[in-house]
């Protein structure tokens, strides 16, 4: 294990939440020279009622004042729009379902924030992510957080050796419960603050309504597996594979009382295919990928490992086969709701190897 220099200057991404607050506290207790930075990455319309950045900044400032650390502020909204949100919109226009949190980490937190922190004299940055970094055989490894319920390595798979060499994750070895306990023990204002959810930096919204602000409606047919018309949809961009809520398909369309789920988005015909219950059309045993990224050196193939096709999914045994510049992932067990545009992340035990974007799914 590489020895850490405790005289290093660390700038923590202080969001105004409990995780980054406790991360700041822990680094101070470990003897680091700590400062903090509050980054604003989305320009809210206050009239919409979603403006949380002002309150988050106020909370971050109170935590910084209590802990005696300097708080910098920086607006990265233009970077977020160009590097994350435009990609997010383009993917939805194609009928795919992107994961902006993954790209946000790569492009914002561990790029522009890292670069800005270094310009302020930092040696490293730190965040409140539940993940770990280790160093052996001249390689940095991204490892899962010890709290399985909060592990966030899935969202960090696009980090590389340089980013890991310049980052610290103080919360990787403790549980969320412990984080709240520490915050309460030190009377931090964020101790009982609700965790943020929703799109990275944009927050909790009615997702379909939010997308319709930026994407045009393109109505089409919702059909069952036999091609039978059920109702109209407002646009494939506003649905995702495996979705149940929001379909508003009531009785009268089937003799079965089972709920309906999105099984496919047929881009060419602009049809949304829905099925009932735990239907076979929801399952696939293989997928192809694009934009593969490895945290360290690219492994040898074929590779037997584990993978997650969504956050908090239990690790699934699989084999990765490389064919030229493309990869095929074959699962031991069929996977439900494999979703093009989402990330698949690869593991060997507690080590995150990297990941890729899901392109197509099949049963071949």
DSSP string, 187-219: T-TTTTPPPP-SBTTTBS--HHHHHHTTS----
Q: Is 291 helix (H, G, I), strand (E, B) or coil?
A: strand
Nearest to 134 by CA among 293, 349, 357: 349
What's the pLDDT at 204?
A: 52
Asked, for residue 313, whether it belongs to a domain, the answer is: yes
How many domains would you assign to the chain?
3
Q: For residue 299, is it within any domain?
A: yes
Query: Domain for residue 206, yes or no?
Result: no
- Does 253 have pLDDT greater than 80? no
Q: Are residues 96 and 122 in the same domain?
A: yes
For 118, half-sphere exposure in the C-beta direction (CA atoms, 13 angstrom radius) is 13
Instruction: List residues with catalytic annotation.
Output: 104, 200
Q: Are residues 154 and 40 in the same domain?
A: yes
Same domain, 314 and 175: no
Both 146 and 180 in a single domain? yes
pLDDT of residue 5 exceeding 70:
no
User: What percent of the residues of the chain are helix, what percent strand, and what percent coil, each to the nearest 5?
Assistant: 25, 30, 40
Q: Which DSSP helix (H) or strand (E) runs through 326?
A: strand 326-336
Last residue of a domain, which of 260, 277, 294? 277
Express each pLDDT in 152-181 by its tens digit.
999 999 999 999 999 999 999 999 999 999
Domain endpoint, select from 165, 185, 205 = 185
Asked if residue 242 and residue 220 are part of one domain, the reply reads yes
Q: Inform me whether the pLDDT recorded for 215 exceeds 80.
A: yes
Other C-beta atoms closer than 10 Å to the C-beta of 202 total 20
In a domain, 201, yes or no: no
CATH of the domain at 320: 2.40.30.10
The tens digit of pLDDT for each residue in 123-149 reads 999 999 999 999 988 999 999 999 999
Is 128 within the bounds of a domain?
yes
Kindly state whether residues 137 and 168 are assigned to the same domain.
yes
Q: Do 237 and 358 lie in a common domain?
A: no
Do 89 and 137 lie in one domain? The reply is yes
CATH of the domain at 229: 2.30.30.280
Residue 2 has pLDDT above 50, yes or no: no
Q: What is residue 264's predicted lDDT score, i.e. its pLDDT? A: 97
Both 96 and 153 in one domain: the answer is: yes
Residue at 198 is within a domain: no
CATH number at residue 143: 3.40.50.620
Domain shared by 267 and 285, yes or no:
no
Q: What percent of the chain has pLDDT over 90?
A: 74
Residue 57 and residue 104 in one domain: yes
- End-of-domain residue from the set 185, 207, 225: 185
287 domain residue, yes or no: yes
Q: CB under 8 Å to 279, separation ≥6 — which residues? A: 225, 261, 263
244 lies in which domain range? 216-277
CA distance 310 to 25: 31
In tens, the pLDDT along 14-64 reads 999 999 999 999 999 999 999 999 998 776 654 344 447 788 999 999 999
Please work out, in degrees rounded to the nearest 5, the angle formed at the alpha carbon of residue 326 by the alpha carbons of 157 and 351. 25
Residue-level pLDDT at 10 = 98
| Per-residue model confidence as pLDDT tens digits over 77-96 | 889 888 888 898 999 888 89
**Mean pLDDT computed over every residue of the chain:** 91
Share of the chain above pLDDT 70, in %: 92
| Domain-located, residue 209 | no
pLDDT band at 266 (very low <50, low <70, confident <90, very high): very high
Other C-beta atoms closer than 10 Å to the C-beta of 326 total 13
Residues 265 and 322 in one domain: no
């Amino acid at each position: 294990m590489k020895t850490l220099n405790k005289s290093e200057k660390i700038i923590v991404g202080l969001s105004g939440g409990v995780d980054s607050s406790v991360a700041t506290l822990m680094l101070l207790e470990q003897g680091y020279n700590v400062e903090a930075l509050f980054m604003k990455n989305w320009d809210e319309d206050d009239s919409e009622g979603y403006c949380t950045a002002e309150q988050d900044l106020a909370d971050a400032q109170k935590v910084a004042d209590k802990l005696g650390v300097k708080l910098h502020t920086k607006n990265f909204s233009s970077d977020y729009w160009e590097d994350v949100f435009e990609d997010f919109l383009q993917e939805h226009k194609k009928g795919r379902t992107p994961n902006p949190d993954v790209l946000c980490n790569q492009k914002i937190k561990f790029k522009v924030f890292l670069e800005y922190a270094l310009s302020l004299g930092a040696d490293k940055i730190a965040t409140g992510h539940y993940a770990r970094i280790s160093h052996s055989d001249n390689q940095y490894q991204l490892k899962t957080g010890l709290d399985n319920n909060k592990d966030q390595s899935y969202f960090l798979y696009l980090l590389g050796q340089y980013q890991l060499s310049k980052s610290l994750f103080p919360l990787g070895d403790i549980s969320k419960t412990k984080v709240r306990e520490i915050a309460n023990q030190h009377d931090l204002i964020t101790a009982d603050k609700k965790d943020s959810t929703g799109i990275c930096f944009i927050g909790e919204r009615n997702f379909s309504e939010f997308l319709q602000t930026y994407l045009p409606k393109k109505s089409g047919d919702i059909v069952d597996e036999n091609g039978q018309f059920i109702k109209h949809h407002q646009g494939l961009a506003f649905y995702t594979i495996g979705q149940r809520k929001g379909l508003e398909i009531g009785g009268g369309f089937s003799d079965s009382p089972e709920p309906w789920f999105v099984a496919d988005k047929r881009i060419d015909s602009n049809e949304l295919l829905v099925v009932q219950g735990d239907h076979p059309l929801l399952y696939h045993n293989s997928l192809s990928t694009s934009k593969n990224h490895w945290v360290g050196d690219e492994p040898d193939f074929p590779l037997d490992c584990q993978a997650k096709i969504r956050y908090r999914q239990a690790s699934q045994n699989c084999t990765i086969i490389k064919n030229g510049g493309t990869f095929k992932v074959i699962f031991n067990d069929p996977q439900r709701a494999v979703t093009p545009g989402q990330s698949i992340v690869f593991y060997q035990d507690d080590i995150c190897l990297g990941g890729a974007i899901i392109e197509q799914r099949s049963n071949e």
